[in-house]
Amino acid sequence: MITCARQHTWTAGFVAREGHRWCRICPEMIKRERKQKIEEEQAKERARIAEAQRKMFAQAEAEMIGEEVKETETTTVRDAET
C-alpha cells in the first residue's frame, strides 16, 4: 500500500500499471478545493454587492416613504373635509 500526503491509499499494483507514483486523487481534490475557494470568494463578493444594494434600496425606499407620508397627510386632510 502507498499513502500520499493526504492519506489516500492505493496499491503498488496501480502505480506500476499507470506508470506514475503521484496520487491520482490529490490533483482532483486540489482542483476541487481551488474551484470551491473561487466560488466562495465569488459568493462573498455577490453577498457584499447584494448587501450594498439592499442598503441603497432601503435608503431609497425610506426617502420614498418619507414623500408618501407627506402625500398621505394631505390625502387624509382632504378625506376629512369630505
Which residues lie near Zn ion (CB under 5 A)?
4, 6, 8, 23, 25-26
**Do residues 14 and 20 touch, judged by C-beta distance below 8 A?**
no
* Minimum gap (Å) between residue 31 Cβ and Zn ion: 12
Q: Which three cell numbers stand for residue 27?
A: 490533483
Is the CB of 26 or the CB of 58 nearer to Zn ion?
Answer: 26
Is the CB of 26 or the CB of 56 nearer to Zn ion?
Answer: 26
Looking up cell 481551488 gives: 34
Is the CB of 13 or the CB of 66 nearer to Zn ion?
Answer: 13
How many other β-carbons are positioned within 10 Å of the β-carbon of residue 26? 13
